[in-house]
Amino acid sequence: MMPLFFAVITRDLRLARRHGADTLGAVLFFILAATLFPLALGPSPELLRHMAPGIIWVCALLAALLPLGRLFGAELEDGSLDQLMLLGLPPSLVALAKMTAHWLTTGLPLLIAAIPMAVMLGLPQVSILVLTGGLFLGSVILSLIGGMAAAVVLGARRSDVLLPLLILPLTCPALIFGAAALDAISNGLPWIPDLELLGAFLGAALPLCPLAAGAGLRAAVE
């Protein structure tokens, strides 16, 4: 079963490499959106340093949304989703494999791109380390919740509108805890509890989101 699981991941990585516009578009959107804030807020280093946690987290969340519409939709249209469901993998593992591929092709590049953005916004080195750890957990959560939402709205009318409306409220806890950890370390307060809450959120999302996504995939192909 595990070779099939990794085969689905490898397949999605090859497709992403062949159609690299989704990954490039998400990273460019993240960089451009984060760059616009200094232009709007002004050049004050203190203000930018204070706003940096929220800026980076919100921009990463919005950038991660961009490729999700194609996570299952394109395969439903061309019939390859039916073939994936016939591989012998449970639908939840098919969903988890595609969520993993989404993180590798979108979440990981955004995590790497966040580091120079944090430097640009004036975050100190210690805060950048906390940002990297928090955004690692948060980006995995975004891929899990995003994949679940993409599967649930699969085949629905106006799914492109429903998808962000479903994802954004569910990802608010990750946004709050991730930004709070950065704010805490900037003010000399304990920041580990915020990352622990983020880790607990990930621990809940890891089993539940693939199960819900698998149910959505099963309903879409029936």
Q: What's the pTM?
A: 0.91
DSSP letters, 89-152, are --HHHHHHHHHHHHIIIIIHHHHHHHHHHHHHTT--HHHHHHHHHHHHHHHHHHHHHHHHHHHH
Note the pLDDT tens digit of each residue in 25-75. 899 999 999 999 888 887 788 888 888 888 999 999 999 988 887 788 777
- Neighbour count for residue 28 (Cβ, 10 Å): 14
CA atoms within 13 A on the CB side of 168: 10
Confidence band for 134, pLDDT divided at 50, 70 and 90:
very high
Contacts of 132 (CB under 8 A, 6+ apart): 111, 114, 115
Lookup result for tokens 């990802």:
171
- pLDDT above 90: residue 24: no
- pLDDT above 90: residue 213: yes
